[in-house]
Amino acid sequence: MAFRIALSGLEAASTDLEVTGNNIANASTTGFKESRAEFADIYANSMIDVSNSAPGRGVRVTRVAQQFTQGSIDFTSNNLDLGLNGEGFFVMQDADGERTYTRAGAFSVDREGYVVDHTQARLQVFPRIGTTGNLFNTGATTDLNLPVVSGTPRATTNIDATLNLSASETVPTVALDPTVAGFTFPPDPLSYNHSTATTIYDSLGTAHTATMFYRKDADNDWSAYTFVDGVNVTVNGNAAADIQFTTSGALDTSLGDVNALGQITFDPFTPSGGSAQITGMTMDYSSSTQFGSGFAVNELAQDGYTSGRLSGVEVDSTGIVFARFTNGQSEPLGKIALARFNNNQGLRQVGDTSWAESFASGDVQLGEAGTSSYGLLQSGALENSNVDVAQQLVNLITAQRNFQANAQVITTADAVTQAVINLR
């Protein structure tokens, strides 16, 4: 019996050594969670046993329990490296539709633009609802795919012009009239007081240059001439828009061509060399002034853009994935789905630092980073293994001593057996 007891001890100590060795081997594995061998004694018991005199029957391994404590976060230079600080797992799905869960956030992009891990399983996100805003359908998940282009371009519909037209300027002596024969662009510099320009876009995303010339006609009264690619754009059939100011220098919305909102609306036009008409374009002068200081362009912004190519990806702490494009636009692609379980230690290990759902773990619960008990995401970072190498080395020594002690029991039992055999 002593042999069997000692053999069970050797087997338990050997398992402890294997678990400790596996922990040490994965001390640098991203997202790895250390394990701990747990044991229980074996005690033979029956109706006729005397409990206070029956010896034990050895030891057995009850389970190898994973320890899901937080690992330290190390920063990297890759925005698709994601570290999870707090509870949760990344949700991955392979080509066969099988889902796994991981804490290893070292992601990359495959040839088709999908965000994948080293096994080519695709990262799952909550899809965006509609084409505007940051609302996501948390009732379903989809593969995260990075688009090559930002989609259809947008024609310019509004130009926000915040200017100061100098009240100290005098009326030019040279006329500015684009309707006369022989007019050439740009006009004579003596025919206007100030000018500025910006880039606008038609519905095909073609860029055009819009140039504005401001001519003082009288005190508090100005004409604004707009040219697109050198061609005059009319306002109510007129070559220039009439803009007037109050004696305090503010825009007068009761006079001239501006509406109650301080905007002027241009007649529809087709840019020179273009095939797309621009309709309904307005110029917002509501914040413009006429003070005695010099001419100043405080803001000149427009809302159109051309198509663009992907230039970068950003992920915020709540898991929203933004794609940045060369046209200056930013578009949310989805929100990273996180998973949690009632019993993490019940998860089934499937290798590659991944786990699968099991009956013991309970059903998967999907959620968003930063809500309920889900952790927060850190882009450009990875979660290290939670293995404490110093503690594992101590465990290694302990397991070694246990193995040697059980081996000594076998040696002693063998000596006793030999002594019995040698009795005459």
pLDDT at 203: 84
Residue 148: closest CA among 316, 294, 1, 325: 325
- Does one domain contain both 137 and 37? no
- Does one domain contain both 233 and 338? no
pLDDT at 416: 73
319, exposed or middle or buried, with CB in 10 Å at 0-12, 13-18, 19+?
Answer: buried
Residue 278 half-sphere exposure toward CB, CA atoms < 13 A = 29
Last residue of a domain, one of 270, 302, 334: 302
Residue 100 has φ and ψ, to the nearest 5°, of: -130, 170
- Does one domain contain both 194 and 288? yes
- Does one domain contain both 251 and 142? no
The 3-state secondary structure of 327-353 reads: CCCEEEEEEEEEEECCCHHHCEEEECC
- Does one domain contain both 193 and 284? yes
Q: Is 150:308 a contact under the CB 8 Å cutoff? A: yes
pLDDT at 414: 65
pLDDT at 325: 86
- Does one domain contain both 90 and 27? no
Query: Is beta strand 108-109 parallel, antiparallel or unpaired with respect to 99-102?
Result: unpaired
- Which residue stretches of the chain have pLDDT < 50? none
326, exposed or middle or buried, with CB in 10 Å at 0-12, 13-18, 19+?
Answer: middle
pLDDT at 415: 74
pLDDT at 175: 93
Residue 6 has φ and ψ, to the nearest 5°, of: -65, -35
Residue 197, domain CATH: 2.60.98.20
Give Cβ neighbours of residue 119 (< 8 Å, ≥ 6 apart): 92, 94, 352, 354
- Does one domain contain both 336 and 375? yes
- Does one domain contain both 130 and 181? no
- Does one domain contain both 54 and 95? no
Structural domain range at position 13: 2-69+389-421
**Number of structural domains the chain divides into:** 3
Distance of alpha carbon 337 from alpha carbon 130, whole angstroms = 18
Residue 115 has φ and ψ, to the nearest 5°, of: -85, 120
Q: Is 299:160 a contact under the CB 8 Å cutoff? A: yes
Dmax (CA) for the chain in angstroms is: 140
pLDDT at 48: 61
Instruction: Give the model confidence (pLDDT) of 62-102 as tens digits.
Output: 999 999 999 999 999 999 999 999 999 999 999 899 999 99
pLDDT at 331: 86
- Does one domain contain both 85 and 98? yes
